[in-house]
Structures are given as C-alpha cells and as structure tokens.
Amino acid sequence: MALPYLEAVLGFMILMYILETYLDIRQHAALKLPSLPKPLEGVVSQEKFEKSRAYSLDKSHFHFVHEAVTILMDTAILYFGVLPWFWKKSGDFVAYMGLNAENEIIHTLSFLAGVMIWSQITDLPFSLYSTFVVETRHGFNKQTIWLFFRDMLKGICLSILLGPPIVAAIIVIVQKGGPYLAIYLWAFMFVLSIVMMTLYPILIAPLFNKFTPLPEGELREKIEKLAASLKFPLKKLFVVDGSTRSSHSNAYMYGFFNNKRIVLYDTLIQQCKNEVEVVAVIAHELGHWKLNHTMYSFIAVQILTFLQFGGYTLVRNSKDLFQSFGFDTQPVLIGLIIFQHTVIPLQHLVSFGLNLVSRAFEFQADAFAKKLGYAAALRSGLVKLQEENLSAMNTDPWYSAYHYSHPPLVERLTALEEPGSKKED
C-alpha cells in the first residue's frame, strides 16, 4: 500500500499556516500597543514611534492577505493535481513547437517557462501593492512604475540567460551521477555559488544599481583606518544609490580572500548624520568577518545542501512518491520539487535553528564593535536606523524567536549597555 505522501504534505502545510498565523496574530497585537517599550522611552521620539506603528500595522494587514492567498493557491495546486497536468501540457507544447518532447531538458525548460509566467502574474498584484501603496504611503518608495517594470524585465532576462544551462547541468548530473550523485550535485552547487558570489557584485548588481567609490573625506578615512587596524583587506569602498528605489538603508561587504569590498547605501550615510555612527555600523559588519561568522554560515549552508541532496538521492527513484503527487514518470526537476515539499518540516526546524545562531552572531558582532570603543555610536546608530526605517518597536517574543534573524532593538541596546565596554574614542 502506497504511503499518503501528498496528504501528509498538505496536512503539514496547513498546520504550519495555522501556527504561523497564530504567531502573526500575536505580533499584530504587539504592534497595536499604544506606547513604546520601557527601554526605548526617551530614546525613540513619539513621532517616529507613531509612524513606525502605522507602517508595521499596514505591513501586517498586507501580510495576512498575502499569506492567506498563498496557502490557498499552493494547496489547490497540489490537491487538484495542477503540477502533473502542467507537466503534461508543457510536453504537449514542446511537441507542438516541433521539438523533441522526449528530451527531458527541453521538456523541463518548457515547464519552468510556464511556471515563471504563472508566478510573475500571480506575484505582480502583491508586488505592486506593496511597493506603490504600502511603501509609498509611508514615504519609502522612490521608484517609478517604469523603473519597477524595468527591474522586473531585467530579472526575467537574467533567469532566461542563466537558468537553462544550470537546469540542464543538474538534469545531466542526476541522470549520470550513479552512487556518488549527492557528491556531484553538491560539488556543482558549490562551484556555482562561488561563481555567482564572484560575478553578482561585478556583473549583475550594477544592472540594477549604480556603484560609485566613496568620495575622499573624513568618513572614508575613518573606515579605512578601522579596516587597516583589523587587518581587513579592503580593496574598494562603494556607495550604492539605494535611494533611487527606497529610503530603507543598509551596508554590506563581499569578496574572497584579500579582495574585500564594503558597500554603503547612500540612505545610510544620509540618515546617520554623525559619521561615527556609520563607522560603528561598519565596525559591527567587520565583527562578523573577524569572528568568522560569514565563513561559519557558508560552511553550514554547504553541509545542509549536501544533506538535502543526500536525502533526495534516497527518494528520487520512489515510484510511490511520484504517483502520490499524480506523476506517472519521474522527471528530475519534479523529483526535486516533490522532495522539497516532503522535507518542509525539517526545513522549518533548520530555519529556526539558523535564526538562533544568527541572533547569537549579531550579539557577538555588537560586542566586537563595543570592544573597539563604538558602544555609544553603535547604540545611537541602531536607534537612528530603527527610527528612519520605521522598524517595529514592540515585538512579540514568540514571533521574534521564530522569525527574526536579528535580535529586536531593545535586546541589542540592553546588551550594549552591560558593563565591560572599552573606553570610547
């Protein structure tokens, strides 16, 4: 007797939706609280609190609708056998175009093209509403409708350019992999991730944003001095024009070995009027590098990727699994999609665990910046960014424990205020 894989997957999807909706309701109640948490009283202005409360509630209402529609669509697609029907129709389309429908690579690319069109159509109303209603209402959206659709078109073109060779390679590896399939798949994805991390900031990111060197001046000197003191191999320091699309701010670094680069959003520089606050934020980011957080995270992802491929190799030839989802054949891509659905419970546990580790890393990076003498500047910088980004001031502890990869502001400020900081410059 075949196991009810489909029913189990649907049951867990609905169960997780109920659990996450319960957490969302708890968070919504926290967002509605009319006053600041005590540690932020006198630190965050009442005006900013009211704005952040309105923004967070707006996003929360939108999230409820988006998640409800998503679970309905995903459940219907699986329950009513849309996936096997669409797989068959994509094969019919290949044959209609005079191509070889027996060629799994061509059939798969046809299937993925249809999925991409469907996802663009179904996601578009939500993306438009989020960008041009919610974000615009609260003063964050800076992009025009033309820029929005231009970015979307660029993303589609990149998918069309990069997708087929990657998909073809995965199918060939699975077909030829033999007993070492998991190792071959992992090795391919490892090389691909290295290539993409190398090419993305150089070739892809500039398609969407303009990167310019940070002008000479006191801010640049302070960042370069800090990097040199930590022996961080800083090669280039960029400012990205994030303000062309949004008022949200950020900073990040990338690069391998002795070719590191730091990127500051122009909005970060504008919002942190005090240059020391910007340097303190960079000190936090450099803390992640100095404490090897980036390397640990990369290694963790590689291990999880290998385990996932190992699990996939155990079920890829399971006729019962494919038949449970309505498939008479066992295509490679469909096998990967079905496997991802069957390990959703484990993925949620892993995601929760990774969030716990990420929050610990954030506290460690804050402590690193504190030891360098940036405690006060980092505190004021974090408050400034929280205010300017209208981030949620009140958070439900269960919701934040489950969802947040970064600790809430209150917890970070409390940790920074604990004794033991180095005297500040």
Give the DSSP letter of residue 327. Answer: -
Query: Residue 377 corresponds to which tokens in the numbers above?
Result: 């500047």
- Local structure of 257: helix, strand or coil: coil
Q: How far, in Å, CA of 203 to CA of 205, rounded?
A: 6
28 is in an annotated binding site: no
Please provide residue 113's backbone torsions phi and psi, each rounded to the nearest 5 degrees: -60, -45
- E-strand ranges in 63-167 read none
Torsion (CA) 207, 333, 106, 323 in degrees, nearest 10: -150
User: What is d(CA 197, CA 218) in angstroms, rounded to the nearest whole number?
Assistant: 30
Does residue 285 carry a catalytic annotation?
yes
Which of 397, 349, 425 lies closest to 37, judged by CA? 397
16 in Cβ contact with 71 (< 8 Å): no
- State yes or no: 362 annotated in a binding site: yes
* Residues 360, 366: Cα–Cα separation, whole Å: 10
Partner residues linked to 282 by β-bridges: none
Q: Is 288 annotated as a binding residue?
A: yes
CA quadruple 126, 128, 133, 139: dihedral sign: positive
**Active-site entry in 285, 387, 396, 411:** 285
How many CA atoms lie less than 13 Å away from 197 in the CB half-sphere? Answer: 16
Phi then psi for 240, rounded to 5 degrees? -110, 145
Q: What are phi and psi of 239, to 5 degrees?
A: -115, 130
CA distances from 67 to 57, 72, 171 (A): 15, 9, 32
Give catalytic status of residue 241 as yes or no: no
Annotated binding site: 284, 288, 362
Which residues belong to the annotated binding site for Zn(2+)?
Answer: 284, 288, 362
* Residues annotated as catalytic (active site), given as ranges: 285, 366
